[in-house]
Structure 1
Amino acid sequence: MLKSVEGELAAPDLEAIAADAHGERAVGRTTVYVYEAPVRICHWVNALAIVVLMVTGYLIASPLPAVGGEASDHFGMGYIRFTHFAAGQVLAVFFLARIFWAFIGNHHARQIFYVPVHRKQFWKEVLHEVRWYAFLERDPKMYVGHNPLAQIAMFTGFTLFVAFMICTGFALYSEGTGIDSWQHALFGWVFAIWPNSQDVHTWHHLGMWALVAFVIVHVYAAIREDIMSRQSIISSMVSGERQFRDEA
């Protein structure tokens, strides 16, 4: 059963009919254009930035062993910190770009920024997806956009967590730029919540490990769905098109 992002029945037979990017019916095709180019670009840039941030963030928290010689001859940690700061600013810019596109793109571009908690049908479908991932359901339900469980995961694991990491990261960065910097002006309020700078460091570091867990689950789920649910997942974020292979 193919479903649109709103969960409405879109196509009983994929050989004859498939839902397009707006949930409308289109005869004679099994490929649906879902993710627009700006969404895909932001996805891959953010993914790369997050990986760089996780690696460099780990090294900042657990520095490399000291090396012999004059300190002026070695700038290893300096390069690591610079890379971390640069990747953080890239992530912030493209995260804002992704939010901007949610307002002007198709409705799939807005899906990861809200969860329809008021819809009873939504929670029924979440339960089905939980059972599907737990291998308790025999057949998957097919969705044009994210399935309901993935929508919750993307909203919490990406939107909220990345926003938290950006706020705490720039707050920590403002300690070096000073109270007259725009970083402190925009994110200095973080220290009103955690006056102790080390607490902000700790929460920022814990947030990194939460993102590591999210990335692992996200990659696993994408590969699993690509193989088991008879619909393209990974290639959809490259071409923008979701292909429904069959309807058993």
Structure 2
Amino acid sequence: MLDVTVIEDPEAAAVSLDPIRARLLAELAAAPASAAMLAGRVGLPRQKVNYHLKALERHGLVELAGERRKGNVNERLMRATAASYVISPAALPAVQPDPDRFRDQLSARWLLAVGARLVRDVGTLINGAARARRRLATYALDGEVRFASAADRAAFVQELTAGVSALIRKYDSPGAEDGRDHRIVVALHPTVKADGPPAADPLPAAGTSPAPGERPGTPDRTASEPDQ
């Protein structure tokens, strides 16, 4: 079983979003089970559960884990193909976010579009690598930092931009014949706590200016994640 897989097919996405089928996926991610075993857990007749399992199996969301004899019946034990699923924006191609349509490094919505593109692109790479039976070279950096002030955060963003830009200039080889293009995404955002969303920065007092890199009333920004 994979830890996470990306759903790109619109029909598979619709199947996974059905509440009953999502519940079945959760059960089968925990352990293999038959339609009869699942029926008691979800409060549905076995035939109804079997109908939902077949729909999930058609779209590659569950698979056969084994069979066992119970009385006069052979039971099929099914399992989820992944512990968790992510629906790619590619499942809604006509309305998927396009970061190039509106670029604003201080916009939370632009960050969301960049993140959606990251999910789409990495999902496509993962699925392609799986079909080709090849490993995919990726890298991610995840961390947290607490800034003493908005000014410190702005200074951090400036230094981060300068540092990453210097690395790009150092290693970028546009003329390399055997080279391969990679995209790097660097983001910084306040940590979202379990008890609710982060508070927005207060507006600056009258007669004062925002710190460098800040905009009045702008929700906070985002933290690093290079993808290859």
TM range (shorter): under 0.3
Larger radius of gyration: 2
| Higher-RCO chain (CA-CA 8 Å, sequence separation at least 6) | 1
Higher helix share: 1
Structure 1 length-normalised TM: 0.23
Structure 2 length-normalised TM: 0.24
